[in-house]
Structure 1
């Protein structure tokens, strides 16, 4: 479904307040830990498609003979593919085929499969070497040392970390080369610590101790900072004085995308933390810089939002550390280049960077292709503050933020199909 977006600020209240559901990244990690340790209870979990797919897969009912259903389809959910590969590898006596959408079958899984097989897992490919679908025969894993490249998606590393405490001898991971996405590794370790699992992360080695049982824990998931990024963009593109309050956020966040607080100061957006319960975003000045430069290897998921914000403000940008964007729901760097160019931008990309030249004009009423990528739809939507814009396949936002379009209505955005 295509959505025609425009903006009318008249019905907007002075400071709208929104409830953003729990972080998809935290939720998916905690759902796996809850499956391993059922005495964990969770609050404020994500209502995203990805998290629902993750939960459904974990809770796949047993058949009469005690075996799991043979095939599990995780659709577009890349996090679920990585985490569940590790999860089912240690489910003794179960055999599953883990598959997904046509795009998922193009997204590499080889590094994680090789790491698990290095530990003794039994995982094979059903179609193309290195890609889903994969057949997983769950076994008891005894080995406790594994190595893998440090510059891969942190989800490969986190997948191993999440199952590590259930391995009989724990796990020691050696990361080879320069480590990227450290905040997401630290998030996983912090959640393990929160349920009582002992961990260490020194240099290029991570160690996780075995924990057969953990104490009962009640964990409230912090709201999703990636979802907040679109509101940062909206406030940045608004007039001075625009405000919105989002809950539930805290200053000592585990999420790498909390870097938004500092990044968006460059665009005139200030963040106030309200008793660690919510944040209020305010536009207090117009940005003066001509070009914005940022290294985003620790928070690549907000690159699309930042690039579109810069374009909407007429600011150039140089964004680096984006190599993981090539293997997301789409090649996000090429997708950004294509769609921003159609809006009139001058932009170039490499395998790990994006350069946008400053420009004061935006071509109105352009159809934005979303490539089955939720972040493309939401990153471009704020441009409706500047010109009418058309978002193709708008329903894709349910992957991470199902109420996105409804929430925009309360801020003065208008829609037609």
Structure 2
């Protein structure tokens, strides 16, 4: 039997697909590279944004005559959406990956299996198949927040931090097997250990002790958790094994909107974290997230968000138009007109492109060590110590090279060596 896995969404989802591949391969299932040759297709879904939701629903409808397992956040958060699109598909939640073989076999027999547990399972005991030189390492499931706009909380509702020892041992094994970039992933890496007697700083300290040459990308963390351990966190980021990269969501530059979003920090809290990181790590790459058009966002509130973005000059901004997601509190609020949301999104996108281009152009002529992490149609791509993407004409995966930046766009640098 042949199975094809199609993955949507975040790094955590990509890690879950690696687990499913491992479980299936151990059972003797052949993993194929295209859906056309597959007996069963697994869609590992994302449900966080409406455009992605709609794209996946259309994809499911096109697969209505195929044998399908729908995995990931969509069936876990809203089973009805999946069953309207493809009633016969088997369903698998992010906390039921150990049952992927049973789900596949049911689909293969034209039966429907449903595994929608929301109780976290121990994924570190499950086999995995990874490719390339990037290892995605989940440090926790769920999060400790309850944002009014977030539908992912419905799919992964409970914070469950994995044991430090298991995480460290997994990373040690990956480094020994040739992986050179370690991506710590979670819905909120900063919340790691809140449910246990530990925290992210402790984990990073133990990762730093692992022998070998590798770089760690710390995933997104919410400001309130970064603030809680700020001095120690900045100290941990001084390690040469950590990319100087901070993904810290702003979401809004207005305290009233943040309150309505049920974000557990203020604008000043966010600015304090950014200021302290930049003071101690000047080469920091700052990524942030902004939602424009939240139901209670006034024109003045939006202008304040623009001003905060101008002030912090982020390198990367994930700018999202607000979409009401089913089952969330924000969906019940009075919505802003679509044209207002679209207009604000255009203004924010333009500003972010200008800021990113300006920052990247300052790096032209500088030389950095670059870790080559992926092949492209033309050449390769890698990351400098601040996690800036650098495109190169040639190079080997996993190789460290000294590259001089010769050109820049708002999204990437181009280098030569």
With normalisation by structure 2, the TM-score equals 0.29
Q: Which has the higher relative contact order, 1 or 2, with Cα contacts under 8 A spaced 6 or more apart?
A: 1
